[in-house]
Structure 1
Amino acid sequence: MEEVKRKGARSTKDIPTWVLEQLNRGEIETANLVEWLAVNQTKLLENVLKESDRMEYLDPILTDVRNLKKQTVNTINEAIGTGILAESILNNDSDILSIISKHKSDVVRCWSAYTIGKNQEFKIEEILAQIQFLAADKHFGVREISWLAIRSSIIRNLEESLEILLSWTSSEDENIRRFATEATRPRGVWCEHIEKLKQEPELSLKILNALKSDPSKYVQDSVGNWLNDASKTRPDFVKDLCEKWKKESATKETLYIIKKALRTIEK
């Protein structure tokens, strides 16, 4: 059975046993968010380390997971990725980073995002260069974690990040174009807010203008959500920009973005 044709269960209790076992062995990808949340990441880690003959990495990483103040799917994901990075540095083992970045399991590739985002040796240009292949990943979960994993680095290096991400808006890949707005949403989802962009959304104007008529609905949704975020602190900026776009670019794509952008203002 090809996983791309498999429909995910609607609730955890409906996930077939064989699917859960294969997910925890890293043999298939998750089909939806329900499956992604159901993966036992510590079991998966053990299987990945056994498979790659690195079982000595297991206990230190599991200790990090146990020491988490709050254990959620995302915090465990981050702790495992950060732990793998620490073990790779300690053991001078770059091969493990390569193994997880290309792994069959989408959850394992999510860990890979944190080995990039948490690497203190990387400057922002290198972080963004390294994360791009995960930003373009075919799996929704990997794409989301790719921006979550580096968001704190983007915030610390905001203007430089925006300049680099502007060049991503001309990519042929809609996932990479979408990353430019999704990673920099002023409020975002399940993540730290970008206070500077909440107060000064103008800093992202070049990126927003570059994507205002993007043909991809995936990108349009992200741009609309970016502006909706900004409307909660700077409604003047969002209203003025939408008016400007209506006059200059009244395409169906732009009008769709404007509708999403103004949804809080027009409540």
Structure 2
Amino acid sequence: MIPEHILNRKGARSFKDLDTEVISYLNKGLIQTANLMEWLTVDQLVLLKKILDDLKKLDWYDSFYEAVSAQKKPSANANTKVIGMTFLQLTNDQSIIDYLSNHTSDVPRCWATYWAGLRESEIDKKLKVIAPYAADVHFGVREVAIFACKEAIIENLDMAIDILSEWTSSTDENVRRYAVETTRPIGVWTKKIDELKEYPEKGIPLLDPLKSDSSKYVRDSVGNWLNDASKTRPDWVKNICARWAKESTTKETQYILKKALRTINK
């Protein structure tokens, strides 16, 4: 039984504020991380050892340890990717990926996200398998779903946009947001998409359907997408915003326009 004060915590704002009790629960995989600070704190190898023991695959541990230790620039996200890749190299057992995908802890779900995304080479199949992770309840899994597909999206941009344009009509705000966030021309943590920096008009099939979205999560992404584009194609962004202002007078659209034009209006 997890104590209420653990389940209802807000998450530490700095490493010095982290609760040792919370860290213990995280490293045992008994709870999800509450924020990025906690996600960065999880000792993934400790958690992995516990999970491999549960799976009766403890003999795999050395392979994971070697892969993680061999990194020149280790980080939480790099460890997540390496562990996901190592699972892919060791097995294709669907029961194991299902176990990870449905784990209480978000961290194994992140491993599964990389495993699923990297297992497929064709963009249509890759996006199909990544969709459940793009819809995950946890922010970390949703972000890893972007990392796992970003390179393939860049390499197959037109086809990816065609597929993702259908996601904009999803009833799930996480899926709608993914369609936009994963194609941001610049973004924050991921590789830039030079083609969209130069030709942002290619993103219109993703942006137009969401210009007055009911979800702030989605609106933030649309506004940030346009703000990205404004750094290389300001005139185009001004034209889009002017058109949207005429087509939609909702407060939701006004919110997006303000966010989209914030660099231009500095």
Q: Which residue of 1 aligns with 2:97?
A: 97
Q: Which residue of 2 aligns with 1:173?
A: 172
Q: Indicate conservation of the 8 Å contact 1:24/1:43, yes or no.
A: yes
Work out the CA distance in 1 between the residues paired with 2:218 and 2:94: 34
CA deviation map 1:8-67 (0-9, x unaligned): 122223222221111011111111111111101111111111111111221112111111
Distance verdict in 2 for CA 1:98–1:208, change over 3 Å: same
Q: Identify the match of residue 80 of structure 1 among 83, 89, 102.
A: 83
Shift of 1:4: 4.8
CA deviation map 1:179-232 (0-9, x unaligned): 010010011111111111111111111110000000100000000000011111
Q: Which residue of 2 aligns with 1:140?
A: 139
Q: Which residue of 1 aligns with 2:151?
A: 152
Task: Report percent identity of matched pairs.
Answer: 51
Work out the CA distance in 2 between the residues paired with 1:4 and 1:184: 34
Work out the CA distance in 1 between the residues paired with 2:61 and 2:195: 39
In structure 2, stretches of 5+ residues that fail to align are: none
CA deviation map 1:104-135 (0-9, x unaligned): 1101101111102212x442111111111111
Work out the CA distance in 2 between the residues paired with 1:43 and 1:4: 21
TM-score normalised per structure 1: 0.95
Work out the CA distance in 1 between the residues paired with 2:187 and 2:91: 31
Q: What letter corresponds to residue 110 of structure 1 in structure 2?
A: C
Q: Identify the match of residue 53 of structure 1 among 48, 56, 59.
A: 56
Shift of 1:94: 2.6
TM-score normalised per structure 2: 0.95
Q: Identify the match of residue 35 of structure 1 among 23, 35, 38.
A: 38
CA deviation map 1:160-188 (0-9, x unaligned): 11011111111111111000100100111
Residues 5-16 of structure 1 aligned to structure 2 (within 5 Å): 5-16=8-19
Local SS of the residue matching 1:64: helix
Distance verdict in 2 for CA 1:4–1:146, change over 3 Å: farther
Shift of 1:95: 2.0
Work out the CA distance in 2 between the residues paired with 1:241 and 1:160: 23
Work out the CA distance in 2 between the residues paired with 1:166 and 1:63: 41
Local SS of the residue matching 1:190: coil
Work out the CA distance in 2 between the residues paired with 1:75 and 1:191: 13
Work out the CA distance in 1 between the residues paired with 2:168 and 2:56: 41
Q: Which residue of 1 aligns with 2:205?
A: 206
Residues 223-242 of structure 1 aligned to structure 2 (within 5 Å): 223-242=222-241
Q: Which residue of 1 aligns with 2:29?
A: 26
Shift of 1:153: 1.2
Work out the CA distance in 1 between the residues paired with 2:11 and 2:206: 35
Distance verdict in 2 for CA 1:98–1:4, change over 3 Å: same
Q: Indicate conservation of the 8 Å contact 2:117/2:129, yes or no.
A: no
Q: What letter corresponds to residue 17 of structure 2 in structure 1?
A: D
Q: Indicate conservation of the 8 Å contact 2:220/2:259, yes or no.
A: yes
In structure 1, stretches of 5+ residues that fail to align are: none
Local SS of the residue matching 1:184: coil
Q: What letter corresponds to residue 198 of structure 2 in structure 1?
A: Q
Q: Which residue of 2 aligns with 1:116?
A: 116
Work out the CA distance in 2 between the residues paired with 1:220 and 1:50: 43
